[in-house]
């Protein structure tokens, strides 16, 4: 089959790596890809959000199946446009991607269908939101309604901070709808399911590390590392999350007339009252995919096709017993301002390491030199018999990389 992967981050490198290994793949393209993806696929200089050119490319090159990585193109209807042009595509329709793109849509869906989530109110006026926060007089969480690349959430530690965030979002982001919700307490985990509109096939759990610095300090990022499986999630909790959250969300979307096909990613908090949804994402996680896929023993391509073709029922996936852990190397300054174009040396030394995979996130080549080309730049994933072993292997591999302009957290897998 001729496959096109849309996107150019670490998640897409992990997808390209897994799809390239499928005996069903005869030709693999990526748009735009990156320097690491270029080892697996032919990279085309087409932006992930340029849907007109992507559709034209897919038609012209007779692509059999397109796998869409990032949320933006999904929310903008890339899958609808590809399918409309007769090209099979993996990912939700724009209507179904609203489960991520609109927090108020997702919250309303949860309440209507009994999916556990924090109590909340939706406001179209900043003043009404501020009045509510003042009246409640307790620390709450303020969320901007649309896609905000992780920058649209403030967890207030006091009422004043909650109010400040309410004013900041309602004045800074003109006419934005706000969701104000109850502040939950507990460890966070991410749950994944491959969905075909009817069936939610469990796709594992991961623990993400969102803050930039060790000890969960510093600003929120897209994710600085992850590991899987998650020891906090035992078989009983897994079943409960599957039944009350993942499958229930898929049933809910179908009942609302927007069947969800693609990868459903639930951000959860394990509260004293059980698991509750913080958010849904309509796509693979980044860097969670970089730990999920190295544990997948089954060929990923038939699974993605079965999701698209609505035949996931009775589909089985096999997973390695080992733990997987990934550490993100980012450019100094990320998630704030950072420089692109600094040289990274030594990455080739990881090639022969047993159980270690280097996924590129933001890289490009200049001749034979490897240069940084983004905020999150490399992901080093290691498999190990235990989490500790995977962590030791990942950090030993990272220490072979010489990149003075980069940094990583040193405590991935140590903090909850």
By the criterion CB under 6 A, which residues form the site for ligand GLY?
Answer: 208, 222-223, 281, 285-286, 288
Closest approach, Cβ 148 to ligand AMP, in A, equals 8
Q: Which does 74 bind (CB under 5 to 8 A by kind): ligand AMP, ligand GLY, none?
A: none
DSSP conformational letter for 242:
I
Q: Alpha-carbon distance 38 to 228, whole Å?
A: 27
Residue 411 binding result from ligand AMP, ligand GLY, none, given CB thresholds of 5 to 8 Å by partner type: none
Nearest partner of 11 among 286, 297, 228, judged by Cα: 286
Q: 391 touches which of ligand AMP, ligand GLY, none (CB within 5 to 8 A by kind)?
A: none
Residue closer to ligand AMP by CB (options 190, 381) is 190
Q: Which does 400 bind (CB under 5 to 8 A by kind): ligand GLY, ligand AMP, none?
A: none
Distance set, CA 8 to CA 144, 166, 249, 403 (Å): 26, 34, 29, 21
Q: Report in angstroms how near the CB of residue 3 gets to ligand AMP at its nearest.
A: 30
Peptide bond between residue 81 and the one before it cis (omega within 30 degrees of 0) = no
Pick the closer one to ligand GLY by CB: 148 or 317. Answer: 148
For residue 371, the cross-strand partners are 343, 364
Range 346-385, binding ligand AMP (CB under 6 A): none
CB of 194 to ligand AMP, least distance (A): 21
C-beta separation of 58 from 79 below 8 A: no
- Of 190 and 247, the one with the shorter C-beta distance to ligand GLY is 190
Q: Which is nearer to ligand AMP, 28 or 184 (CB)?
A: 184
Among the listed residues 75, 141, 212, 292, the single contact to ligand AMP using CB under 6 A: 141
As measured in angstroms, the least distance from the Cβ of 109 to ligand GLY is 19
Nearest to 254 by CA among 199, 303, 306: 199
Query: Tokens standing for 5?
Result: 């992967």
Which residues 19-78 are close enough to bind ligand AMP by CB under 6 A?
none
Give which of 237, 289, 251 is closest to 17, Cα–Cα: 289
* Of 181-189, 236-244, 346-354, 389-397: span binding ligand AMP (CB under 6 A): 181-189
Closer residue to ligand GLY (CB): 308 or 376: 376
∠ CA 130-172-334, rounded to 5°: 115
Question: Smallest Cα–Cα separation from 101: which of 206, 177, 192, 155?
Answer: 177
**Per rule CB under 6 A, is residue 153 in the interface with ligand AMP?**
yes
Residues 230-289 that bind ligand AMP (CB under 6 A): 267, 278-279
Q: What φ, ψ does residue 31 adopt, rounded to 5°?
A: -135, 115
Please choose which of ligand AMP, ligand GLY, none residue 223 contacts, taking the beta carbon within 5 to 8 angstroms, the exact cut-off set by kind. Answer: ligand GLY
179 contacts 375 by C-beta, under 8 angstroms: no
Q: Restricting to residues 89-118, which ones interact with ligand AMP according to CB under 6 A?
A: 118
Question: Which residue is nearest to ligand AMP, using beta carbons?
Answer: 279
Please identify which residue in 136, 188, 214, 216 interacts with ligand AMP, judged by CB under 6 A: 188
Q: How far apart are CA 182 and CA 180, in angstroms?
A: 7
As given in the structure block, the two tokens for residue 261 are: 């096909």
- Residue 286: both structure tokens together: 């980044």
CA-based torsion, 249, 251, 252, 256: positive or negative? positive
Give CA angle at 397 (39, 323), nearest 5°. Answer: 90
Least distance to ligand AMP, CB of residue 268, Å = 9
Point out which span in 46-54, 76-84, 180-188, 189-197 binds ligand AMP (CB under 6 A): 180-188
Say how many residues make up the chain: 416
Using CB under 6 A as the criterion, which residues of the chain lie in contact with ligand AMP when the complex forms? 118, 141, 143, 153, 155, 181-184, 188, 210, 267, 278-279
């Amino acid at each position: 089959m001729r496959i096109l992967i849309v996107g150019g981050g670490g998640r897409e490198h992990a997808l390209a790596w897994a799809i390239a290994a499928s005996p069903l793949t005869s030709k693999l393209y990526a748009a735009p890809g990156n320097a690491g993806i270029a080892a697996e696929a032919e990279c085309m200089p087409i932006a992930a959000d340029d849907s007109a050119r992507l559709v034209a490319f897919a038609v012209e090159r007779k692509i059999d199946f397109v796998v869409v990585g990032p949320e933006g193109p999904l929310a903008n209807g890339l899958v609808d446009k590809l399918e409309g042009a007769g090209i099979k595509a993996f990912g939700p329709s724009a209507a179904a991607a609203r489960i991520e793109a609109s927090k108020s849509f997702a919250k309303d869906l949860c309440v209507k269908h009994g999916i556990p989530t924090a109590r909340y109110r939706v406001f179209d006026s900043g003043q009404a939101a501020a009045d509510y926060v003042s009246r409640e007089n307790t620390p709450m969480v303020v969320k901007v309604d649309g896609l905000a690349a992780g920058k649209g959430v403030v967890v207030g530690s006091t009422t004043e901070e909650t109010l400040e965030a309410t004013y900041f979002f309602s004045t800074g982001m003109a006419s934005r709808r706000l969701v104000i919700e109850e502040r939950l307490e507990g460890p966070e985990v991410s749950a994944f399911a491959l969905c075909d509109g009817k069936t939610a096939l469990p796709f594992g759990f991961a623990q993400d590390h969102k803050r930039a610095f060790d000890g969960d300090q510093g600003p929120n990022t897209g994710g600085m590392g992850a590991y899987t499986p998650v020891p906090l999630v035992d078989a009983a909790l897994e079943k409960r999350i599957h039944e009350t959250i993942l499958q229930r969300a898929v049933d809910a979307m179908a009942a609302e007339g927007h069947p969800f096909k693609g990868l459903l990613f639930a951000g959860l908090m394990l509260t004293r009252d059980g698991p509750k949804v913080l958010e849904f994402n309509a796509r693979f996680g980044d860097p969670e995919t970089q730990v999920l896929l190295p544990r997948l023993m089954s060929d990923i391509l038939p699974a993605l096709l079965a999701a698209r073709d609505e035949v996931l029922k009775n589909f089985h996936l096999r997973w390695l017993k080992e733990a997987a852990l990934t550490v993100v190397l980012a450019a100094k300054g990320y998630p704030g301002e950072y420089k692109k174009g600094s040289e990274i040396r030594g990455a080739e030394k990881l090639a022969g390491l047993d159980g270690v995979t280097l996924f590129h996130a933001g890289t490009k080549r200049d001749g034979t030199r490897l240069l940084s080309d983004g905020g999150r730049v490399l992901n080093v994933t290691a498999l190990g018999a235990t989490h500790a072993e995977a962590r030791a292997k990942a950090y030993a591999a990272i220490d072979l990389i010489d990149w003075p302009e980069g940094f990583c957290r040193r405590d991935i897998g140590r903090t909850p």
